[in-house]
Amino acid sequence: MAENTYRPRRSVLYIPAANERALAKIATLACDAVIIDLEDAVASGEKASARDRLATIFANRPQRRCEMVVRINRFGGEGGPEDLAAALACQPDGILLPKIDTPRDILEAGDALDEADAPDEVKLWAMIETPKALINIAAIAELGRDPASRLACLVAGTNDLIKETGVLATADRRYLAPWLMQMVLAARAGGIALLDGVFNDFRNSDGFTRECADSAGMGFDGKTLIHPSQIEAANAAFSPSEEALTEARAIVAAFAAPENAGKGVIALEGRMVERLHLVQAEKLLAKAVSIGA
């Protein structure tokens, strides 16, 4: 069986650091991760008080396995360094960097983490939400191959990409799709996780479910969310189906049979199956174990 290094990030919920009611519910949520947001979701006049609230938020972090990430204001901009210092004092699982443009933005933040003696377990996440970031996506994602960079996850900022480029926002996201697939390729080349952008109309459950299925089909690891009502559908969309698990178990069992020992290709239920399919099956089963499926 392949080594299980998968960490579930099927559902990642943004929670404004200024929203005390929402913050109080973190322990009750079934999402895989939360992003405590100091950036877009917090008004300029509330940013200092939201930053000060981080210590209380993390003092009450849930005992269950739930990643807690802090999205700071732009590291090189107003409030960014102060956000980073306050976040690091809480020892989050990750720091989400908004509006990066080049690999240098991530490297500079990583240097700041090293200078602050942040544990290696504190990772960097990066928003891909500017045209320049898209142009540099391959070089950005390649940092994931260097553990010293701390880069663990990319997050599509679809709302900002629409705003910055002027493309038409359609229900099928046909104008965004080429860029989303570019992100998928880069993330896979860099060996890091990739999260899809938010779905704004949280009351449209059918539309959200369709977009999750489309996102999972593209190869994303999960979706960022703006409302707890979206968690269940996201978890379902980015979890292996029972049909897929049944097929994976059959492939593993077939290659484990004595008569197939050492074979690179075997016949299974009328089709040819290669060892690359065995690797895929093992990864899928390991993923299911991680999420309890």
pLDDT, tens digit, 9 for 90 and up, residues 216-258: 999 999 999 999 999 999 999 999 999 999 999 999 999 999 9
Given the DSSP bridges, would you call strands 33-37 and 11-16 parallel, antiparallel or unpaired?
A: parallel
* Lowest pLDDT segment from 35-39, 56-60, 250-254: 56-60
DSSP 86-142: HHHTT--SEEEEPS--SHHHHHHHHHHHHHTT--TT-EEEEEE-SHHHHHTHHHHHH
**Residue 2 above 80 pLDDT?**
no
Tokens of 116: 């602050």
Domains of the chain: 11-237 (3.20.20.60), 242-291 (no CATH)
Give residue 64's pLDDT. 62
**Residue 113 to residue 94: CA distance in whole angstroms:** 11
Residue 95 · residue 81 · CB < 8 Å: no
The answer to whether the predicted template modeling score (pTM) of the entire model surpasses 0.85 is: yes
Q: H/E element holding 35?
A: strand 33-37
Q: Which residues pair with 68 in a beta bridge?
A: 34
User: Which sign, positive or negative, has the C-alpha torsion 22, 23, 25, 31?
Assistant: positive
Residue by residue, what is the 3-state secondary structure of 158-211? HHHHHHHHCCCCCCCCCCCHHHHHHHHHHHHHHCCEEEECCCCCCCCHHHHHHH
pLDDT, tens digit, 9 for 90 and up, residues 131-176: 999 999 999 999 999 999 999 999 999 999 999 999 999 999 999 9
Residue 267 · residue 273 · CB < 8 Å: yes
pLDDT, tens digit, 9 for 90 and up, residues 89-98: 999 999 999 9
